[in-house]
Homo-oligomer: A and B are copies of this chain.
Amino acid sequence: MSPAKPRLALVTEHDPGNYRVDRQVGFVLRKANQRHVAIFASHITDLTPPQFAALSKLADVGEISQNQLGALVAMDAATIKGVIDRLKARGLVDVARHAADKRRLMLRLTEAGRDAVARLTPLAERITAETLAPLSQREAATLLKLLTRIA
């Protein structure tokens, strides 16, 4: 005889053997991210996702300081610095000290940077589509909505 299951759990009890790491949000989030990065790399080989995010955002806003751009693309000061350094090295971003506030590093796209954004944005749309390919349109919209709420 196996022990009878309680018909009602009067208190929330801890079930010791029931935790599975690979079913937790954190784990699945990490895996989904991995797959997306792989899809990205298969379409865009010359930039990483964070680099493209910074570039694309910079195209939107025109001119902005390094840390402010970082805030817009969810990168802290240390991270955005490295990203911008690499974009600078590729000649996609121009840098100048702010005249009135000498602390600020003002960023702008170069002509090559604008070209890159124009060229890559259609590919980026395909990357999004391919990442969401396992889902219906409706499911994809739901996922994006829920994901945004926990982000």
Chain A interface residues (CB < 8 Å from chain B): 14, 16, 19-37, 40, 49-50, 52-53, 56-57, 60, 72-74, 121-122, 124-125, 127-128, 131-132, 134-135, 139-140, 142-144, 146-151
Q: How far is the CB of A74 from chain B (nearest CB, A)?
A: 5
Residues of chain B lying within 8 A (CB to CB) of residue A73: 21-22, 27
Interface residues of A: mostly helix, strand, loop or mixed? helix
Asked whether, in the complex, the Cβ of B25 is within 8 Å of the Cβ of A132, the reply is yes
Asked whether, in the complex, the Cβ of B147 is within 8 Å of the Cβ of A25, the reply is yes
Residues of chain B lying within 8 A (CB to CB) of residue A127: 24, 26
Asked whether, in the complex, the Cβ of B74 is within 8 Å of the Cβ of A31, the reply is yes
Asked whether, in the complex, the Cβ of B74 is within 8 Å of the Cβ of A128, the reply is no
Docked pose: A40 CA to B21 CA in angstroms: 13
Q: How far is the CB of A12 from chain B (nearest CB, A)?
A: 11
Asked whether, in the complex, the Cβ of A30 is within 8 Å of the Cβ of B122, the reply is no
Asked whether, in the complex, the Cβ of A149 is within 8 Å of the Cβ of B131, the reply is no
Docked pose: A30 CA to B53 CA in angstroms: 11
Asked whether, in the complex, the Cβ of B72 is within 8 Å of the Cβ of A49, the reply is no
Asked whether, in the complex, the Cβ of A28 is within 8 Å of the Cβ of B151, the reply is yes
Which of B19, B30, B53 is within 8 Å of A33, CB to CB? B30
Which of B21, B22, B72, B74 is within 8 Å of A30, CB to CB? B74
